[in-house]
Amino acid sequence: MEEKLQKGKSLRVRGLRQRWMVNTVMPVLLILLLTVVLFSVGVSSYYYMSMRDGLEKQAQALAGAFEEYFMDGGYAGYITKAQQSTDTFEDKGRIEMQFISTSGRIQASSTSSLTVGTFPGTDDINRAISQNRMEFFQGRDPETGEQILAVSHPLTFNGQVKAVIRFVTSLRFVNRQVMVTVLFICLVAALCLAMVFISNLLFINNVVEPVAVVSEAAKRISAGGYGFQVENKYDDELGELVDNINNMSLKIGQNEKMKSEFISSVSHELRTPLTAINGWGETILEDPTGDPAQLRRGIRIILNESRRLSTMVEELLEFSKMEDGRFTLRLEQVDLQAEFEDAIFTYQELFRQEGIELEYEMGEGDLPLISGDPERLKQVFCNVLDNAAKHGGAGGRIHASVAQEGAWQVVRVRDFGPGIPEEELPFVKQKFYKGTSKARGSGIGLAVCDEIVNLHGGSLTIGNAHGGGTVVTVQLPTRE
């Protein structure tokens, strides 16, 4: 059995781990991938745009100087100044400066005289000449196959393009820098993903597995392991959950124990009056012309036991209605004092025959009518009086009263018996609870009475009276 539970727990934890990983790690992975892509694109764009912007500024500055000071001196003057410019170009280690004719041929270059007379073959030159504006090219050099960035600016004289200034730089170092930056970003993203993965594993170990333990405990309880307790090693919400599971298990165990005791008690309570009825019925049937006093005694016992059976059956029916929500009231204007007095008069003679004196104290003046169900209220009064006789009849006296106290009409019934042990007082209204009392009963009468009084908006309290005995107080609201 334990092996089965462990297997079930392992499967459940594995399933929880998979779902948790899919629902947490995958979204984080997608977000990181999107972040890496966007950041990489942004970084590369920043580097390339910064480099292009620098080349364009140099080309604009040099083209402006040439157009203003050197283009009107004729071709010879232009060539001379172009060669001087390429020879004295300070940044020739990184950037190549070229002067190109309108036919696309290099006239002067800052890097090598070998390139003079060649044709670069990139379309930025033709576009700059044809559209008379600065153009750029980014891609592979047709001659060397190297990744380059080139900016071409037209040189004009009298509105006519006479030549092109071109700045060219290799993208090898920039590409390397971009690659290093992207790799660094990927490393950071991988570290973030690893941290998320590890934190999720820790979370699963610290949360999901304990939840699986609690789930197995709940399964064990539902399978009949009432009273089973889970070891509580947590001081957070999980600890509170474990405490709640343990309390639920304990209460279910207690309720099951009480229910079993209730079934045993009801079986005994039903068997005792039935035995008496059957016994006296057979006695009377066998000797119908016997002693009249004995005959009357037998009939009285049969009637008393039948009445007790009827009461028990009524309690069971009321309890069944209360459990499945069919317990309702038929409200009307009720004279509470009259209903209580009817119960008093009903029980006075019965108690007298049992040697119990029932004293009744009437309130001052007539009490106003209240909204209530007369049959249900009389059921409460009869049950309370009957309990007083069963549990406190040894005192030989019961005192009952009804009075108006503020906004409440209060009924009190006190017996002078041994009272109720203090540790049992909080539970006497619970269903099936009988405590240490050996008196007959099902243990549900007071639970039904408490429900009836609560539905009326009142309260039913039970306590020990000063001087001994038990006092039951029923408070019902007065509604004008």
Question: What is the SS3 assignment for the chain?
Answer: CHHHHHHHHHHHHHHHHHHHHHHHHHHHHHHHHHHHHHHHHHHHHHHHHHHHHHHHHHHHHHHHHHHHHCHHHHHHHHHHHHHHHHHCCCCCCCEEEEEEECCCCEEEECCCHHHCCCCCCCHHHHHHHHHCCCEEEEEECCCCCCEEEEEEEEEEECCEEEEEEEEEEECHHHHHHHHHHHHHHHHHHHHHHHHHHHHHHHHHHHHHHHHHHHHHHHHHHHCCCCCCCCCCCCCCHHHHHHHHHHHHHHHHHHHHHHHHHHHHHHHHHHHHHHHHHHHHHHHHHHCCCCCHHHHHHHHHHHHHHHHHHHHHHHHHHHHHHHHCCCCCCCCEEECHHHHHHHHHHHHHHHHHHCCCEEEEECCCCCCCCEEECHHHHHHHHHHHHHHHHHHHHHHCEEEEEEEEECCEEEEEEEECCCCCCHHHHHHCCCCCCCCCCCCCCCCCHHHHHHHHHHHCCCEEEEEECCCCCEEEEEEEECCC
Give the pLDDT confidence of 379-409 residue by residue, as tens digits.
889 889 988 888 777 778 899 999 998 899 9
Q: Do the two domains 2-175 and 332-477 of this chain adopt the same fold?
A: no
Residue reference for tokens 């090219």: 137
**pLDDT score of 71:** 63
Q: pLDDT averaged over the chain?
A: 81
Give the pLDDT confidence of 154-208 residue by residue, as tens digits.
998 877 888 999 999 999 888 898 899 889 999 999 998 888 888 877 777 776 6
Give the pLDDT confidence of 85-132 residue by residue, as tens digits.
888 888 888 899 999 999 999 999 988 767 888 898 899 999 999 999
**pLDDT score of 4:** 46
Query: What is the fold, at CATH topology level, of the domain defined by 2-175?
Result: Beta-Lactamase (3.30.450)
**Residue 5, pLDDT above cutoff 50:** no
The model's confidence at residue 319, banded by pLDDT at 50, 70 and 90, is low
Residue spans per domain, the chain = 2-175, 237-307, 332-477
**pLDDT score of 2:** 47
The model's confidence at residue 288, banded by pLDDT at 50, 70 and 90, is low
Give the pLDDT confidence of 6-49 residue by residue, as tens digits.
544 454 555 666 776 677 778 888 888 998 899 888 988 888 99
Give the pLDDT confidence of 218-239 residue by residue, as tens digits.
777 776 666 677 777 767 677 7
What is the CATH class of 237-307? Answer: mainly alpha
pTM, rounded to two decimals: 0.45
Architecture of domain 332-477: 2-Layer Sandwich (3.30)
